[in-house]
């Protein structure tokens, strides 16, 4: 272990991001020396406002199908380490930054950001005016885009051919293909993997032995495991396209306590008849203020989603749904409870990796709900 800064040998190539509306942002692709540059890449372009935690963001499966723009101006200064991965490999299609440093300094680091991303085939576009790009996304929405060294007309055509995430079931790309166990506390939790983050599983394991199952597992098989609770994970893409997930949740409700986060929150809403919609540019960052409605407390939260639950669709449901949390920036539903079905969910990320830990009490509330069931 060395405490001295390490340096990556990198090279640059003039390149550009072209959005589907014709906007052009010129910069440079970054790659290890003699490592070669990736082929042109397309995806839905979003921005994240977190000041740190780029490794956790890059490996969050919820970013599948997206190109992530970091608003913080400098990326890569503390390298990459195995302890902070949220999944086995990067999930986003590309990374955009104002500056990607070739030096990194961190006693935990095992390699540099450029080396890690290039080794996994993820494009890195540096030298971009990320402030201007972020303002463009805020004004025009999360648009499809293309990154590469091609001529602008060719990149524009690629951007226009990119579908984005609307109507796409991206859960199938990230869910586990087998059942596995995480030893833990006295309760038994089945976690349905729509693209689950490792930190969430670690939080659940503090109180329960966790069985992680594929997103396609039927409700009958889940209930046959005799769980004390079922957890609905985060994940990528359009919740309206994950109809099999909605059907499974519908059959679970009323039989076992249910807790959902992010995509799991959206699927739980659909399971009781509510609707979801695509936001203009979504919530991505570690500093979103959310108000807990029962006592007025404001939590600073970590968020990553482009879809949200339509509050108006709660009005004529067959069950009573209580909105529990609201986003103070735009009033989006950030949480709800269904007391008669022993279910609740939040849109944001209480595990907060990265981000503040204001909301980790929600895992304790899930434990309390399972305790009531077991008593």
Contact in structure between 89 and 122 (CB atoms under 8 Å): no
Checking phi first, is residue 36 left (phi over 0); if not, alpha (psi -120 to 50) or beta? left
Q: Strand 66-70 to strand 94-96: parallel, antiparallel, or no bridges (unpaired)? A: parallel
CA 300 to chain centre: 17
Is 262 known to be catalytic?
yes
The catalytic position among 56, 299, 334, 351 is 351
Q: Strand 94-96 to strand 123-126: parallel, antiparallel, or no bridges (unpaired)? A: parallel
Length in residues, the chain? 375
The catalytic position among 136, 283, 284, 349 is 349
Sign of CA dihedral 172, 274, 288, 125: positive
* Adjacent-strand bridge partners of 345: 260, 336
Determine the Cα–Cα distance for residues 303 and 289; give it in Å rounded to an integer.
10
Contact in structure between 318 and 273 (CB atoms under 8 Å): yes
- The two tokens of residue 313 are 């669709």
The catalytic position among 86, 262, 284, 288 is 262
Checking phi first, is residue 84 left (phi over 0); if not, alpha (psi -120 to 50) or beta? alpha
E strands of 71-193, at which residues? 74-75, 94-96, 99-100, 103-104, 123-126, 144-148, 180-182, 187-193
CA angle 357, 360, 363 (to 5 degrees): 165
Is 7 known to be catalytic?
no
* Adjacent-strand bridge partners of 291: 298, 326
For 279, half-sphere exposure in the C-beta direction (CA atoms, 13 angstrom radius) is 21
Is 56 known to be catalytic?
no
Active site residues: 262, 349, 351
């Amino acid at each position: 272990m060395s405490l001295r800064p390490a340096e990556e040998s990198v090279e640059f190539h003039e390149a550009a991001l072209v959005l589907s509306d014709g906007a052009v942002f010129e910069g440079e692709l970054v790659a290890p020396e003699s490592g070669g540059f990736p082929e042109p890449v397309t995806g839905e372009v979003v921005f994240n406002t977190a000041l740190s935690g780029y490794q956790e963001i890059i490996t969050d499966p919820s970013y599948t199908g997206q190109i992530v723009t970091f608003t913080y101006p400098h990326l890569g200064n503390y390298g990459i380490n195995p302890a902070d991965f949220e999944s086995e490999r990067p999930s986003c299609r590309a990374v955009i930054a104002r500056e990607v440093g070739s030096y990194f300094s961190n006693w935990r680091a095992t390699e540099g950001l450029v080396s890690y991303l290039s080794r996994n085939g993820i494009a890195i576009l540096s030298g971009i005016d990320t402030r201007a790009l972020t303002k463009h996304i805020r004004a025009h929405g999360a648009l499809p885009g293309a990154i590469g060294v091609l001529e602008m007309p060719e990149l524009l055509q690629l951007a226009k051919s990119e579908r984005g995430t609307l109507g796409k079931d991206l859960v199938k790309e990230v869910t586990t293909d087998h059942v596995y166990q995480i030893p833990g506390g006295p309760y038994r939790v089945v976690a349905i993997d729509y693209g689950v983050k490792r930190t969430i599983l670690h939080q659940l394991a503090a109180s329960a032995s966790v069985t992680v199952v594929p997103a396609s597992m039927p409700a009958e098989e889940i209930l046959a495991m005799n769980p004390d609770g079922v957890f609905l994970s985060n994940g990528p893409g359009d919740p309206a396209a994950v109809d099999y997930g909605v059907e499974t949740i519908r059959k679970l409700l009323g039989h076992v306590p249910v807790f959902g986060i992010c995509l799991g929150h959206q699927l739980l809403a659909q399971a009781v008849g509510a609707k979801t919609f695509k936001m203009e540019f979504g919530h991505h960052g570690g500093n979103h203020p959310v108000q807990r409605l029962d006592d007025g407390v404001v939590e600073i939260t970590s968020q990553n989603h482009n879809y949200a639950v339509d509050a108006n669709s709660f009005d004529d449901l067959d069950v009573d749904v209580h909105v529990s949390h609201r986003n103070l920036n735009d009033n989006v539903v950030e949480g709800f409870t269904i007391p008669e079905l022993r279910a609740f969910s939040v849109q944001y990320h209480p595990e907060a990796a990265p981000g503040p830990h204001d909301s980790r009490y929600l895992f304790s509330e899930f434990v309390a709900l399972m305790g009531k069931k077991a008593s």
